[in-house]
Structure 1
Amino acid sequence: MNQFTDPPESGQPIHVVMAAGGTGGHIYPALAIADQLRALDPNLRITFSGTTRGMESELIPRNGYDFAPVKVIPFSRQEGWKRFLVPFILLSSAVKSAVKFRRERVDLVIGMGGYPSMPAVLGARFAGIPRLLHESNAIPGKANKFALSFTKNLGVVFAEVEERNRGAQHDVRVVGLPIRDLAPAATLSGRDPLRDRLGLRSSDRLIVVSGGSAGAVNLTNAALEAASNCITADDTVFLIKTGGKDFDRATEKLAALPAGAKVHLIAHIEDMTDAYESADLFVSRAGAASIAELSQNAVPSILVPYPWAADDHQRHNAEAMVAKGAAVMVADAEIDGKNLALLIDDLLSVPEALRSLSARASTDEHRHAAQNMATWALSLIKNHSNRK
């Protein structure tokens, strides 16, 4: 037995590494788990592991957590010849992580999927440290598929993933998608600050268009064109999140629209809880985090899966929502201003349709996901039998 198989020494704070990065879909659920771990044990030490290439290097410190960068790149054609170095870079970073984990007395590594998580998860395996994975999509990503070959514990959102991985070699639990416990300002004050800021009338319907963490040019273009094509345009207002890189181009395109189109552009929505509380309808990509938040807030939605997502997992996510009557799905190749305007008009003109989508989307299954994962994590640290 050594310091990594024994429970933490008395007086020695538990140290957990959260391995997450790349996109908000991995980072925000990791932050939710970290928040719950702190709530359960205020003395617990949490370090985030990720790369300097994604959002994590800015987002993690901004949320009050320590960030330790690692070197790793995705196996992607965009990397050119460097992608063939991925196994060597990963192995080197994993060994360095293992040495660091031993030196810093890390007790557990939680991997949230995505290539930035791999050095820490593999490093934990080398160091003999317990590992806990979370998979948010209906089709597990390549990183988690690989990690499952040497990790026993997996929390999932979709029951289909649990069924496919059920067996003696794995402990797979449907825990939901961790969402941070941030109450919307509208709930606290009785007012709707987002609608107030946009100057909306009580009769106005708000369509929020969000293409994920970085925005989506295709969704932005379709929404801008739909804004001047909707027959309900007189009382329909669009709030379009463009992402920082596309904001200037979208602003120029907005200036060329016919007079009367009611559109507000924003590079980033700082408080998504306000947006969910205020929206009558969401147009969104189908990442797991987006779907979980739409469901948690019972928001009717038009889902446009990102067609180049790994293993087409966003389409599978959206199909699961459509199957239970909780959303409408449109392929990215088919979305344009005319089609989107027709869909919006159809939904807004039949209030019962919006109410039905909202009711079928509504779920409480994600509310306790962060606590489920945090409690599981602490039990793994204390349970010797899981340290292998």
Structure 2
Amino acid sequence: MDQGALGDPRGAAAARRPLSVVVAGGGTAGHVEPAMALADAVRRLRPDARVTALGTERGLENRLVPARGYPLELIPPVPMPRKPNVDLLKLPLKVRDSVKQTRAVLDRVGADVVVGFGGYVSLPAYLAARGRVPIVVHEANARAGLANKVGAKFAERVLAATPDSGLPGAQTIGIPLRESITRLDRWALRAQARQHFGLHPHAPTILVFGGSQGARTLNTAFSGAAEALGRAGIGVLHAHGPKNTIAVQQVPGAPVYNAVPYLERMDLAYAAADLVVCRSGAMTVAEVSALGLPAVFVPLPHGNGEQALNAQPVVAQGGARLVADEDMTSQKVIDEVLPLALDPQRLQEMSRATLGSGHREADHVLAQIVLEVAGQ
């Protein structure tokens, strides 16, 4: 008999029933996708494990979590100010109610460990689990948010995507990514991907996207440069966002400029591309790096500057270029992005540098840590 289980009531309980992991990563895809990648990795290591996601009724988790086959428990949201200030003092009643409901979820599913990825779902999860259930914190951004700063104070383990996240003692492991990305063979899928999107099979191709809602700056800059790109023999796959529309000048006989509202098959979009131009959210940077895709990152100009910081390690290694939002114009596309897309040797050098900055095994590493903390 396992002597560790005899000496640890939690270990004994875990030995009698399947492992129960609760992930808190609702709100945006940048929080939800790492949580789902971890969930998949846990299930690969422990097929009998139960993984429950926490979320709120207005977050993307309502679409993403059920689609991945995991149960979703909704709790009241606790919007977090980016810094400790007077707004934080207005939250005690909301926090108390959310913590109470979250604690009931943890009890109902028999949680063995809570894994938080930041955002307004994580704070009540950390407070509900404190002193009751072991906590693991993962910070995806280069600059930690307030929820993870709070959770890290009483977590068993603290992990981060990059060094210097602002969480003392954090172990750098990268961001957990779904296997459809980390195991993607871009070259093997290239012909299928380009056919799927109606792109030229051999022309240099740029993938442009600005997150799930698109980015006005990228939409304006690339639609204005569409004619020049076409005349240069460059194809474009451009996700402009479901609430936006763009008009592009298609050049007769030139490679297609395919503008779409949303990319359901992101794996094929990556496989079709020679170069990507996009925002630099933590998840996007991690995926691009893992795939070895040369990139031009255009950080979101709002927030606390974390998007520029997210991109910095890849840029420093030579795998990407950084362009400020206010500088990304149609002329910038023509003067800098267009020549880069036509330079296969430079793209190859950037690809090698990008691969060197990625963490393809972060999902497996984090899953092992979670099992260790859970006593498994």
Normalising by structure 1, report the TM-score.
0.86
Instruction: Pick closer, same or farther for the CA change 1:241–1:87 going to 2, 3 Å.
Output: farther
- Report what 1:60 is aligned to: 65
- Report what 2:18 is aligned to: 13
Give per-residue Cα distances to partners, 1:56-101, cap 9 Å, x unaligned: 0111001101001111142469xxx998743321222112211331
Percentage of pairs with the same residue: 31
Give per-residue Cα distances to partners, 1:251-310, cap 9 Å, x unaligned: xx33xx46557421222212222122220110011111111111111111100001113x
1:335 equivalent in alignment to 2:289? no
- Report what 1:386 is aligned to: none
1:104 equivalent in alignment to 2:109? yes
- What is the distance in 1 between the residues matched to 2:227 and 2:251? 8
- Report what 1:41 is aligned to: 46
Once the two structures are superposed, the pairs formed by residues 137-152 of structure 1 within 5 Å of their partners are: 137-152=141-156
Once the two structures are superposed, the pairs formed by residues 63-142 of structure 1 within 5 Å of their partners are: 63-75=68-80, 85-125=90-130, 128-142=132-146
Contact 1:27/1:56 (8 A) holds in 2: yes
1:355 equivalent in alignment to 2:360? no
- Report what 2:240 is aligned to: 242
Contact 1:20/1:111 (8 A) holds in 2: yes
Contact 1:347/1:353 (8 A) holds in 2: yes
Contact 1:19/1:48 (8 A) holds in 2: yes
1:174 equivalent in alignment to 2:175? no
Contact 1:227/1:341 (8 A) holds in 2: no
Shift of 1:186: 5.9
- Report what 1:265 is aligned to: 259
Contact 1:240/1:265 (8 A) holds in 2: yes
- Report what 2:3 is aligned to: none
Query: Which amino acid counterpart does residue 55 of structure 2 have in structure 1?
Result: G
1:306 equivalent in alignment to 2:300? yes
- Report what 1:161 is aligned to: 165
Query: Which amino acid counterpart does residue 280 of structure 1 have in structure 2?
Result: D
Query: Which amino acid counterpart does residue 353 of structure 2 have in structure 1?
Result: R
CA RMSD in angstroms comes to 2.7
Q: What number of residue pairs does the alignment pair up?
A: 364
- What is the distance in 2 between the residues matched to 1:8 and 1:376? 19
Instruction: Pick closer, same or farther for the CA change 1:90–1:191 going to 2, 3 Å.
Output: same
Contact 2:204/2:342 (8 A) holds in 1: no
Shift of 1:210: 1.2
Normalising by structure 2, report the TM-score.
0.89
Question: Matched residue of 1:159: which SS?
Answer: coil
Shift of 1:160: 2.6
1:210 equivalent in alignment to 2:214? no
Question: Matched residue of 2:107: which SS?
Answer: helix
Question: Matched residue of 1:132: which SS?
Answer: strand
Match of 1:28 among 23, 29, 33: 33
Runs of 4+ in 1 over 3 A off after TM superposition: 1-7, 81-87, 183-188, 198-203, 257-262
Shift of 1:2: 12
- Report what 2:224 is aligned to: 225
- What is the distance in 1 between the residues matched to 2:126 and 2:219? 36
Larger mean CA deviation between 334-343 and 289-298 belongs to 334-343
